[in-house]
Structures are given as C-alpha cells and as structure tokens.
Structure 1
Amino acid sequence: MNRFPTQLKKIRKEQNITQDDLASQLFVTRQAVSKWESGDSTPDLNNLIKLTDIFNVSLDNLVFGTEHDTKVDTSEFVFDPKHNRYVRRLGKMNFWDFLSGYWWAVLAIVFVIGFFSIFWTGR
C-alpha cells in the first residue's frame, strides 16, 4: 500500500500550496508533481528531502502518514545516518563527551608524551 501520493496531496492542500507553486519551489514541472500525487511516479530522494523542508514535516509523516510523539531539539541534536540515530552536535560538547568520543586521541597524546619524556631523560 503506497500512502505517499495521498499524503503529498493532503499536506499540500492543508498548507494551501498549488501544484504550480510546489513545482517551482522544487524546480520540476507541474506535471511531475501531478504524477507524484496520482502515484504514477515518485520523487527522488533529494526532492523528498526538499518536500519535508517545504512542508515542515518528517519524512515518516510524508511517506507513511505516521506521526511521532518525540520531538527532537534540532539546535542540540543532528541525525546521524551512519548509525540511524540522533547525536549531540559537536558545538555543545563537554569534557566527558570529548573523552568518550576521542579516547584514542587522548591515549595517543599520553603515549607520545611518555615516549618523549623517556627519550629526553635518557632512561
């Protein structure tokens, strides 16, 4: 069951956007938007992401019609597609977050300092 065409049409009409307006925002033809809404074709991934930005809805809501109760604070978290989860933005990192994420760098620095202290003291 493909819910995307009905969801696209429903959300577009709720926000009072015409097919022409939507097509001009996506740099596609009105016929392409019409085909998406009729189910004859589907937009590529780039256009799906642009649609979520235009309508200010989640991809799950646009494609499947599902709503999630969980709201993510996008000023503090960003989606990591590699691990399929939200992670804290690096700008708000504290010391313990740094250690947990870059333990290997801290270990390498301690090793280098220890190596050079042995080398220079002659022991």
Structure 2
Amino acid sequence: MNKFPEQLKRLRKNNQMTQDDLAEKLFVTRQAISKWESGDSTPDLTNLIKLTDIFNVSMDTLVFNSETKSKVDTTEFVFDPKRNRYVRRFGKMNFWDFLSGYWWTILLMIFIIGFFATFWSGSPR
C-alpha cells in the first residue's frame, strides 16, 4: 500500500504550500505535483531528495509514512534502502563492541565470582 501520495499532500498542506508553490521550488509543473498526490505518477530520486529537504523530513517519513516514533534504535541501526530493512550501523557486533558498551557487566561478574570464591574457600585468615 503506497502512502506516499497522502503523505506528500499532508506535508505540503502542513507547510501551508500550494501545488504551485511546491512545483516552483522543485522546478516542475503543478500538474506533476497533482499527479504525485493522486498516485498517477511518482517523482524521481532527485525530486524525492529535494522534497525531504523542503519538508525537513527523512526519506522514511516521506516515502514509508513512518512519522510515528519507531521502535528502532537509530544509534545502533540505520535503514538500508538496497535491502529495504534496518541493518546495524557498524556491522555485526563483536566482543570488543560488546565490551565497550557493557564493560560494567564484566566488572560486576568478576566482583561476584571473587566474592563467592573467597566465601566458599573456607580458609580462615
């Protein structure tokens, strides 16, 4: 289900622009904007990028109508348009990535193991 025509019209109206105003900014005809909003045609990639700049929205918001807060952690994941899904921003997590983010868990485990090792050793000092 393509939500782009509805999203484009909503964004244009929220920014108090007419089809003529938007067409002038994109250097296209008003009829082109009308066709995009009716779903009869779609803009090319260059115009999509210009639309994201004009409305100050992401490509996800413009094309996929994902204006609601997504449950994706954008500090760790980024949308890959080639795969049409979110992928890790820095590739797969390795041990060092885990350690840099969760170093405190390692210290806690060492402390707990050390505490129980001295407790169960039973050797008085």
Per the shorter chain, which TM-score range?
Answer: 0.5 to 0.7
| CA displacement at 1:80 relative to structure 2 | 9.5
CA distance, structure 2, for counterparts of residue 85 and residue 33 of structure 1: 35
| CA displacement at 1:64 relative to structure 2 | 1.2
Runs of at least 5 residues in structure 2 that lack an aligned partner in the other structure: 91-125
SS in 2 for 1:54: helix
Query: Given the two structures, how large is their TM-score scaled by the length of structure 2?
Result: 0.56
> Aligned pair in 2 of structure 1 residues 21, 85: CA closer, same or farther (>3 Å)?
farther
RMSD (Å), alpha carbons: 2.6
CA distance, structure 2, for counterparts of residue 61 and residue 41 of structure 1: 19
Matched, 1:57 2:64: no
Query: Given the two structures, how large is their TM-score scaled by the length of structure 1?
Result: 0.56
> Aligned pair in 2 of structure 1 residues 11, 3: CA closer, same or farther (>3 Å)?
same
Identity among equivalent pairs (%):
70
Quote the residue 1:36 is aligned against: 36
| CA displacement at 1:9 relative to structure 2 | 0.3
Task: Look at both structures and tell me which one has the larger radius of gyration over its CA atoms.
Answer: 2
SS in 1 for 2:48: helix
Aligned residues: 81
Quote the residue 1:7 is aligned against: 7
